[in-house]
């Protein structure tokens, strides 16, 4: 069966920069605490008028341009997001209309921070089966809209942005070699947004209780993430009998610099082989890997023939990895 390859990438972040110093004026925190505990220095914030599809649109346009493709060439659009424009229609359908990608199928994926890798896996399967040839995958988030700006334990962490990849059939050795997807719904309460769905429909009471904002058990999530990601990366390497030194670049989900460093150390990868941009954007959930991938491609940190690994951990809980030969 033909495997899929990433043909091009694109990304977009909103102009507005929110610094740690500004956050010091909003909640009881400090630039020093945020940098030491998370590695984040600033993050981007969408304007009042910008929804996730607007960010997705810019990232998608950039990826299409770099591939030399037109929207009508797309067979399928997948958008990974926990901040869809609205419950329905899907953000992917809204994006399809904005792009004018007439006749492309479109759907959203909610696997939180692992959403981009889950979507990549679906795109790979559609292409391998021969059903589609040209698939646009976008991770797009406006987490600032679901962040409790009075909760210092979460509001310093998140940011907005979008990253896109266009996939098509691979030839030769290149392409997506393996995708591993995992979940454990019994631990879902580590990271939730409890209000606004069918369990707790929006009401004055849910708003008063601030249930429409992200809730996270940060420390428990941290510990579980480090343990899980170490095994995930090790398993992915073992599947192809690769050594850590065979990997040219690891692009991890950007949740916390300490998680990124701990994972790299435990699996024996020098930090120089790990792509880090959390300092500029914070945690952008499903958008973090495709934004980082686009930056890595643009600054030529991935070259033809390289083994590239992606890994993520997030709400659900979910975790996932992808091994790609560039």
The C-alpha angle 231, 288, 275, rounded to 5 degrees, equals 65
Tell me: does residue 182 bind ligand UT7 (CB under 6 A). no
Least distance (Å) from ligand UT7 to the CB of residue 254? 8
210 contacts: CB under 8 Å, gap ≥ 6:
148, 150
CA distance 70 to 34: 42
Residue 227 touching ligand UT7 (CB under 6 A): no
What track of x and - describes contact with ligand UT7 for positions 272 through 291 (by CB under 6 A)?
-----------x--------
Residue 156 near ligand UT7 by CB under 6 A: yes
Q: φ, ψ for residue 254 (rounded to 5)?
A: -95, 85
How far is residue 294's CA from residue 283's CA, in Å, rounded to a whole number?
16
Q: Which is nearer to ligand UT7, 169 or 218 (CB)?
A: 218
Query: Does residue 219 interact with ligand UT7 by CB under 6 A?
Result: yes
Instruction: Give least dist CB 107 to ligand UT7, A.
Output: 23
Catalytic residues, by residue number, are: 113, 253, 283
Interacting positions 25-64 with ligand UT7 (CB under 6 A): 29, 33, 37-38
Q: Measured between alpha carbons, how far is 44 from 279 in angstroms, rounded to an integer?
A: 11
CA dist 287 and 254 (Å) reads 9
For residues 107-126, which are near ligand UT7 according to CB under 6 A?
Answer: 113
Centre a 10 Å sphere on the Cβ of residue 139 and count the other Cβ atoms it contains.
37
Pick the binder of ligand UT7 from 50, 91, 96, 221 (CB under 6 A): 221
| Count of positions on this chain that bind ligand UT7 (CB under 6 A) | 20
Q: Which of 94, 120, 225, 278 binds ligand UT7 (CB under 6 A)?
A: 225
Q: Which is nearer to ligand UT7, 59 or 259 (CB)?
A: 259
Taking residue 228's Cβ as centre, other Cβ atoms within 10 Å add up to 17
Q: How far is CA 132 from the centre of its chain?
A: 23
- Cα dist from 132 to 69, 103, 113, 196, 287, whole Å: 15, 12, 25, 35, 23
Site for ligand UT7 contains 83 (CB under 6 A): no
Residue numbers of the site for ligand UT7 (CB under 6 A)? 29, 33, 37-38, 113, 152-153, 156, 191, 218-219, 221-222, 225, 255-256, 259, 283, 313-314
């Amino acid at each position: 069966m033909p495997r899929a390859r990433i043909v091009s990438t694109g990304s977009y972040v909103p102009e507005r920069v929110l610094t740690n110093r500004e956050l010091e004026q909003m909640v009881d925190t400090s630039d020093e605490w945020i940098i030491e505990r998370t590695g984040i220095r600033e993050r981007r914030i969408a304007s009042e008028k910008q929804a996730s599809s607007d960010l997705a649109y810019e990232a998608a346009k950039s990826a299409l341009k770099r591939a030399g493709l037109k929207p009508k060439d797309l067979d399928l659009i997948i958008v990974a997001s926990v901040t869809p424009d609205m419950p329905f229609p899907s953000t992917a359908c809204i994006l399809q209309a904005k792009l004018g990608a007439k006749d492309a199928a479109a759907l959203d994926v909610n696997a939180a921070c692992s959403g981009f890798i889950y979507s990549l896996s679906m795109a790979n399967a559609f292409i391998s089966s021969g059903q589609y040839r040209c698939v646009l995958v976008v991770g797009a988030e406006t987490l600032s809209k679901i962040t409790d700006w009075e909760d210092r334990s979460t509001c310093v962490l998140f940011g907005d942005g979008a990253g896109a990849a266009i996939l098509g059939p691979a030839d030769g050795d290149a392409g997506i070699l393996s995708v591993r997807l995992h979940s454990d719904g019994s631990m879902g309460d580590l990271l939730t947004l409890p209000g606004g769905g069918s369990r707790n429909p929006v009401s004055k009471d849910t708003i008063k209780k601030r249930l429409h904002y992200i809730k996270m058990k940060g420390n428990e999530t941290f510990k579980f993430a480090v343990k899980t990601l170490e095994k995930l990366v090790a398993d992915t390497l073992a599947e192809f009998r690769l050594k850590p030194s065979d990997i040219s670049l690891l692009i991890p989900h950007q949740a916390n610099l300490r998680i990124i460093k701990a994972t790299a150390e435990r699996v024996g990868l020098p930090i120089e082989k790990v792509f880090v941009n959390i300092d500029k954007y914070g945690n952008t959930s499903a958008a973090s890997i495709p934004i980082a991938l686009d930056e890595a491609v643009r600054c030529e940190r991935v070259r033809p023939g390289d083994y590239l690994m992606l890994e993520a951990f997030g709400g659900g809980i979910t975790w996932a990895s992808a091994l790609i030969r560039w």
